[in-house]
Each structure stands twice: as C-alpha cells, then as structure tokens.
Amino acid sequence: MLNNDEILQLQYVEKLKTIIEEKEKALGRKMTCQVTTFGCQMNARDSEKLLGILKKAGFVETESDDADFVIYNTCTVRDNANQRLYGRLGALKPYKKKNPNMKIGLCGCMMQEPTVIEKIKNSYGFVDLIFGTHNVFCFAELLCRMYESDSRIIDIWEKTDKIVEALPIDRKYSFKSGINIMFGCNNFCTYCIVPYVRGRERSRNPEDIIAEIKGLVDDGVVEIMLLGQNVNSYGKNLEDPISFAELLRRIEKIEGLERIRFMTSHPKDLSDELIDVMASSKKICDHIHLPLQSGSSRILKKMNRCYDKEQYLALVERIRAKIPDISITTDILMAFPGETDEDVEETVDVIRKVKFDNAFTFIYSKRTGTPAASMPDQLDEGTMQRHFDVVLKEVQESARERLKRFEGRTVPVLFEEVNDHDPEYIDARMTSNTVVHVKAPSSCIGKIMNVKLTEFHGFYYTGEIV
C-alpha cells in the first residue's frame, strides 16, 4: 500500500508529464534528458529513480551533453569526485548558451555540503536545480517548481525520517536490481563525510522490502543486491527490530529469486548468525565485501572503526571456517594522518593472511568537516603515493594468487552484457563476483548457465558453456 508521500509524488509525476507535453508542443519535438552518476551503488539506484521519473514524464534519454535537461547525481567521498563535477559543469556552459531551453540539475551527497552550495551559487549561476540526498524522492515536485517558476530552485534538507520508494524507476538491467534496505550511517569514521550527508541510519520495513523484491521477480529479475551504508546494522531502529540475518532468511523464501547479494558490511556488526545464514543458504552469493581500511590497530583506532587487526582476522577466520570457498573483497584507505611505514607493514600482513579476492585501494582524501581533516601529521603527497604503491602491489599479487583456485572448474554464471572490446563475448559473473568472458550469443544475457573456466587472465577468466 502506498503511503501519503508516495501518493503525492506520483501526482507530481503526472503534473510534470503535462508540463513537458506543453513544452514539446511549443518546441515541435521530444525533450531529451541525461542522467550522470558519480559514486556508489546507492547513488546508482537513486539515478535509476531519477531517470524513471524523467521518462515517465516524457523525456527521451540521451548520452549527449546538450540535452534539454542534464542532472548530475554527485558523490563527495573523495575530493577528486568534487573536482570532476566542477570540470563537467564548466563544459556544460556553452551548451546552455546555445539552447535557452536547457536546464541543469545537481543532486546527491556533494549537495549536502554548505561550502559546495556557496561555490555553485557564486561560480555556476547557470545551474537551475539543486537538491540533496534526503529529498531525492521529491524530484518530480522540484522539477514542477523549476519549470513553473522558471527560476533557480535550491532545496536542501538537513535530515529526514521519510522513506519514499514506490516511484517510477528505469533499471539498467532487466534481470538484476539493487534494493535499498536502509539509509544513512551511525558509525562516524573520522575520515568519512557520509554520516553528515546521508544522515543517521533508517531501515525500511521488511514487509516493504519483500514486496518490492517479489514485484521485481515477477518482472524478470533473478538477482538482487541489498544496499545500505552498513547492512549489518539493518533493522535495529525499527519499531519491531529484526536482524539482517533474519531479513535474508525471509528473502530466501521468495520463489523465482535465484541470487542474493548485499553490501556494504561493517566488520564490527557482522554476526555469527549472519555467517550461519550465509553458510546454509542456496541463494546468497559466496562473496562478502568486508572493508578493512587499515591493518594497523593504531590507525584503526584513530579512524574510529571500532575493531582492531586481531578482531578483523578472527572474523575472517570464522567466516572461512563456515564458508571455506567464499570470496572476500575489501576497501583499504592508505596514507591516513600519522600513518608510518610500520603501519603499512601491518596492512600488508593482513593482506597476506586474509588473501583477498580483490581490494579497492584508495589514498586518503581530506574532507572538510570530518575529524581527520584537522588531525596533525597529515602526510605529504610523496609519502602518500609510496604507501599506496606498496599496498596496491601486495593486493594485486594476493588477488591473482587467490583467484587461480577457480581454474578448470565448471560454475554457474549470470550472463550480464556484451563485452566492450569483443562483441562475440558476453561478460558474465560468478557468485564470487569474479567476471568471466564467454563466447556466446546475446540471447544468453539475463540467464544463469554453467560455464567451464578455461583460462585465467589475472583478474578474470574466459570460459565456455557446457
């Protein structure tokens, strides 16, 4: 059943449709739109909603920068994401001069930063619509206001307790989909801006999640990805609390659903109950993304990660005891303030002991407003790069060695899309999240089929259908 906010926003979608129809009559053509996403899977899911609303209103999607409506869904985890946005905005200005009907919108995490809003006001006066993470569901309403007033709209909420999901959506894939199960984060890692821009944790009711997944399965989806900043703490703030493990048990019972993935898991909240559920499941994929950030207990404490090196290693040991063949991937943040060569060696030691299947390794980026930004002993660029290079080399060697274990096996894979470099091949994915290139017709896309892994290429396989 729709809640009042969902009903209201669907009414605005219909109103927007009328506005766009009138504009198209005046122009004598269809109006075009472009949605560009920066950042995480949750941003990608939000962008599917933005595009769904735009298409429902009558817009035609284009990849061209001279679209009638261009919106950037922003990320602010690292400074280079901010700089990329400013560069893209500068490139749009000439298009707007040529097309007086063009409108430009900005949304997402970066828009929750007051300093960013001031910079856009002062330096990018041609931007027409600005909103943040808490009122993304008001997109149709904000577009109506923008077009009706023909003036700039800036609508930033500091927080919200609303959860509004039942809106039009345009999925990238017909056979798999992300599902938001919670929003926000309560962890306040000292380097991270996310709790400040996404707000505190809010979990969706399990009944709503189950209903959405059932609808997706009826629409042909075979794999879902449960999304949250920290899925392991799902359900703690509900009126009737429920554990993430119990939510997974309920989702597993959905007929027609074949694969379940989730991310991201904070190590401090990963329970033995969750490990048991994963071990006994026939649908949960043999993959877990478990951010380490640092192998140094001293640095982990400064990061406010709420676990130390030994606790992380013990957790991995418990996981592998129950699920020996599981793929464990991670995030590692190098060059945190005060990090020494000894701290780097501690991180290398964890990599060697865990043997990650893959790792996303980043250099620390100072984010204004976070405790780490004002910490002493900020590292110089040369030291940052040196620390990063040491760990990246170790991660790559570890991952290559770990992934070799699949060679020669026959495994089920989900065929996802035509390979960018050779259209005779389809990119498929194992439950471990490892990519396999398979020579196959495009009719295989969306299907799960058995493939023999014939050749290992360092970080991916080639295989053949059996």
Secondary element (H or E) of residue 407: none
Give the residue from 67, 83, 58, 81 showing the smallest Cα distance to 128: 67
Omega prior to 264 cis, within 30 of 0? yes
pLDDT per residue as tens digits for the range 247-284 = 999 999 999 999 999 998 999 999 999 999 999 999 99
- Between CA 142 and CA 168 the distance in angstroms is 15
User: Exposure pattern of 24-60 as b/e (b: 16+ CB <10 Å)?
Assistant: beeeeeebbbbbebbbbbbbbbbbbbbbbbbbbbbbe
| Non-local CB neighbours of 465 within 8 Å, separated by 6+ positions | 438, 440, 444, 449, 450, 451
pTM: 0.89
- Between CA 358 and CA 353 the distance in angstroms is 14
Q: What pairing do the DSSP bridges indicate for beta strands 202-203 and 182-183?
A: antiparallel
Which two three-digit tokens encode residue 158? Answer: 């500091």
Which two three-digit tokens encode residue 190? Answer: 């000292």
Question: What is the average pLDDT value for the chain, to the nearest integer?
Answer: 94
pLDDT per residue as tens digits for the range 43-94 = 889 999 999 999 999 999 999 899 999 999 998 877 777 888 898 898 999 9
Which backbone phi and psi does 158 adopt, to 5 degrees?
-75, -30
Note the pLDDT of residue 166: 84
Note the pLDDT of residue 223: 98
Which two three-digit tokens encode residue 174? Answer: 């017909």
The CA–CA distances, whole Å, from 169 to 54, 136, 261, 452 equal 9, 13, 20, 36
Note the pLDDT of residue 100: 87
Listed as ranges, residues in the chain with pLDDT below 70 are: none
Q: Is 209 exposed, middle or buried (0-12, 13-18, 19+ CB in 10 A)?
A: buried
- Between CA 316 and CA 348 the distance in angstroms is 16
Note the pLDDT of residue 158: 86
Residue 440: helix, strand or coil by DSSP?
A: coil
Note the pLDDT of residue 402: 94
- Between CA 187 and CA 38 the distance in angstroms is 23
